[in-house]
Structures are given as structure tokens and as C-alpha cells.
Amino acid sequence: MALNLSRNTQVFISTVNGVHTSGGGVIELDTITGGSGHVIGDVITIGTGATAVNVVVTAVNSGAVTAVTLTNNGRGSGAKTDNADLTQSASSGTGTGFAMKVDGANTATTTTLDGNRTALGLFKGNEKDANTFKIGVLDGYSFSQANESTDVTISEAGSTPNRGSKRFNDSLAPAEWSFQTYARPFKHGAASFRASGTHDYAENVLWAALSGQTMTTADKDTNSGNTTNSGISYTATTADVDFSASNSHELLKLQIYFALENTTYRLNECQVNQVEIDFSIDGIATLSWSGNATSIDQLTASAAGAIEDPSKGNNVSGSGSGTQTIVKTDVEKFNFVDVSGTNDADYLRNKLSALTLSNLVQGGGSSAGGLDAVTDYDINIIGGSITIANNITYLTPETLGIVDQPIGSFTGTRQISGTLNCYLDTKSNGSNELLKNLQGATNLVTNSFNMSLFMGGGSSATPVIEFDVPRAHLQIPVLEVADVISTNIEFMALGTTISSTDEMTIKAKGLTTFTETGYAKTGSTAV
């Protein structure tokens, strides 16, 4: 019996489920004809047109291939004939004469292995239009799906009454998931999946699902392409998240894969409901993500199950058939993008975080029960948090005699709020001055402050993530009595109007350059 240890968990997030939308694709191969002149790492195309398959060379003997990995990204599409011979048609190297045989007939199915999920596409790793990402999560992740039930009871009078009960399963509740990540900006290098020099987030797919309906599709070299309904834009200055594309009934749906040590679970049609950004002064900047999904699948321990798992590839040696051994170097860059390494992206120290806060004349100034103009409050924060919530609701039928499952979701009110902690001081335009001004604004029912929070440094720092709230409504601060008197400032981000989407803009500037040594941008292109 093999146990699953949480410390060995890997988390992958994708906009697809690994099944080609055209159907089919090779799952297993065997009987290697090694050829000559090959080296480990070569990507060899066998077959042509509809029968094309890409394999990664993992072992050679004097230039003859002895083992390969078939990744999800390279398995192609369409039905293949059992025992068909596929010969080399192209290679990223100079070797020749390689061939393999199809092991088992592959039908042109357009559903997942369990037959329950419609094909969404193959995993794409480190290339243009990457759609699958490895996310570095912290300890304490969770995912579960409960069921709803009804109890029927009877209660009678008399000396020997019937007092029984019976329970019925009604439906599966929406699955719940949550995990923490570090906030990690970075810059793209020459061998990356976006244009060199542009800024990005290691957790970009989560920001995209929180704020919009799509991932930005772009040419690798120019970043030109479709940005319709995307909440993220990538430039050489900053990577920006806004909510201009978030006024939709459904936001971007994700598939989340929890690859435990011996088991992989897929959460289907996930929605990012909320993120909490933590400014704890003694910690590293973290993001707490949570949301729901319609269902949870356990991927089968078979060749077909492995091919739908971004962490795995089918490894074939000699005349043997496919296995499910995880060989990270064989599937990374093909199945997924990995920016989770220590040296791939930046960490942010909350101790360096800074706040800018100002307001214009509001309500005729203090003499009229409003606020005087203050262009720069001098407030040093000692902690705080920002919460961005989509308030998503899932719909589940209630059919008698059937255990129903959630059929979809819709967004609710978008709410952006937060709390800032600071010491109560007496300096000019400090926290005590802010408290006094807000308490005196008795005729101002809605105030408006221009607030910017710089996570990991000041406005000119790099790396940093900046949270701009041009119209923050501040509550009257609450005093906290401890060894040093402190105060909590609660705020809500408001739009220009009640229907506007300009409550907040998030800007990231990375310092560390992410690159993949030895990567050719066409090397992971799905066939």
C-alpha cells in the first residue's frame, strides 16, 4: 500500500483538460526502431498529417533511441490504426531512421477517459498561447465535495410507536478548493512563453480567472494577439490586472489538477471566487485563493489516465508499452509552464510595503462637515489585507430519485475591500490626523481617497506589486488597545459609477528573468 504525502503534492492549473477537440490521439506506443545520430532531448515527429505524433528522446545507445516519452502535447489527434508503423518525418536534432508502432487502437473520441467531460484541447507548455501552468502552493491546501441529503422520519403515538428514519442523497454540493501562493512577479526572458522583457505573474492564470473571461492569447515574440475579454495585459513596463472584462455571468473556467504522490485529482469547471492579499509585516507576500468546481475526478492509473495528467507522460523503452512514470524533465516545457522554482520569479517582503493616501476637498471642507484637501497622508502600515470577491453562486437541480450535480454558476456582486493596520501617531497628516478628519466629516456620507499600496517596496521599487484604488471609501478607523495603541482602517474600492469596473488596477514589476535553457519556441507545439 502506497500512501500520499502532502509534501509531494504538485498543483497544475489549465484552461483545458488534455483531450484534443478534434478527437483521438495516440495514447501508447511500442517497438522502437532506434535509428542513428539521435541525442537525449530530441523531439522527433513520427508520421505525417493526421497521423503525426511527437515524442521526446529520453535514452540513446550510440545514437540509437532506446526510450522516449509521449507527452499529452505531442500525441496528436484522430484515430490511429492498431499496430500501425509510424516512421520519422522530422526532428529537432540531426538523427534519422527512427520509427515506432501504435500499441492499441485509438478512436477519435472527443471526451475525457471517463466519458463525462467534453474535450477542451491539449496541454500547451512553454510556447505561445500557453494554457497550462504549474503553481507553487503552500502547505494547507484543501479540496472536497460534500453531498446534500434529506432525512425522512416517522413518529407515532402509543405504547409501541414506530420511530424510524431514512436518509436520501439528493445532490452533490459544488466542490470547494483553496490554497495559498506567494505573490511572485517576474520578467520574461528570450526563451519564455511571452515576449522577452515583458512583465508577468507566476500565478497569472489565477488572476485571469478572477478578472476576466479568457487568457490573453499572443504571439510569443510580439505579444500581439487577442486580448478580448481578458483581465490581464503584459507590457515592458508592468503586467496589469483590471476588471474591465469581469462584468459577465461566467468568468474563465479552469481545470485544477492536484497531483498527489500516487494519485491525481482533477477539479472540473473551477471558478476563482476570491483572493485575499496578505500584508503581514513579518512575512512574505502571499495570496489566498479559493473557489468552487462542478465535480472532482480521480484520473485512472492507466496509460490513458496518465495522458490526461499534465504532470505525467507515457514512457516507452525498447518494445515495452506505455507507463505512467513521472519524469518532470520529459513533460515540462511541453505539458506545462513551470515558474515555481526558487530562481524563476521574485519573492516580495511585506516589511518593505508602502502606502500612499490622499484626498481632494470633499463636502466643502471641514468647516462644512466635510474633508479638507490632503494630498499626502504620512501613514506607515504594520499589516493588513485586501479581499477581491466575485460572490459566485452555483446552480444544482433537485430531481427526485437522482443524485444531481451542479450544472454551472453565475457571478454576483464584485466586491473589493480591505483593512490596513497602523500605529496611532501624532505627526502631521499621520494616522491620528486621519482619524480626527474622518470623525469630523459628519456631512460626508461617501468619501473618496486615492489609495495605492505597494507590496514589497515603494512606488519606484522593483520587484513590486502595486494595488491602485482611485476611489477608496474609508470607514472611521477603530482603535486597538495593546502595548502600543494602533488603529484599523477599513476601506472599500468603488468605481466611478455603480456599474463601472475601475475599482482597482493591479500592476506587477518583476526583477528576475525567467527563461528555459535549451528551449526552442516551436519545440512544444501541440500536433
pLDDT at 521: 47
Nearest CA to 491 out of 459, 458, 469 is that of: 469
Peptide bond into 463 cis (omega under 30): yes
Nearest CA-CA partner of 43 in 118, 94, 113: 94
Measured from the Cβ of residue 317, the count of other Cβ atoms closer than 10 Å reads 16
Length of the chain: 527
- CA 397 – CA 408 distance, rounded (Å): 10
For 115-160, where are the E strands, in sequence order? 132-135, 142-144, 147-153
Lookup: cell for 78: 484522430
What are the tens digits of pLDDT across the range 10-67?
999 999 999 988 888 888 888 899 999 999 888 899 988 767 899 989 889 999 999 9
Q: In 208-253, where do the E strands start and end? A: 232-234, 239-241
Measuring CA to CA, which residue among 9, 6, 4 is closest to residue 340? 9
pLDDT of res. 210: 97
Nearest CA among 54, 63, 127 for reference residue 91: 54
C-alpha cell belonging to residue 393 = 453562486
CA distances from 400 to 116, 150, 169, 173, 395 (A): 22, 11, 10, 16, 16
Report, as ranges of residue numbers, the positions in the chain whose pLDDT lies below 70.
1, 50, 217-227, 320-329, 517-527
| Best CA proximity match to 502, nearest among 473, 474, 475, 468 | 468
For residues 463, 469, 195 and 135, what is the CA-based torsion angle, rounded to 10 degrees? Answer: 70
Q: Whose CA is closest to 423, among 374, 357, 379?
A: 379
Q: What pLDDT was estimated at residue 222?
A: 59
Grid cell digits, residue 269? 469547471
Q: What is the pTM of this model?
A: 0.92
**What pLDDT does 111 receive?**
87
β partners of residue 505: 468
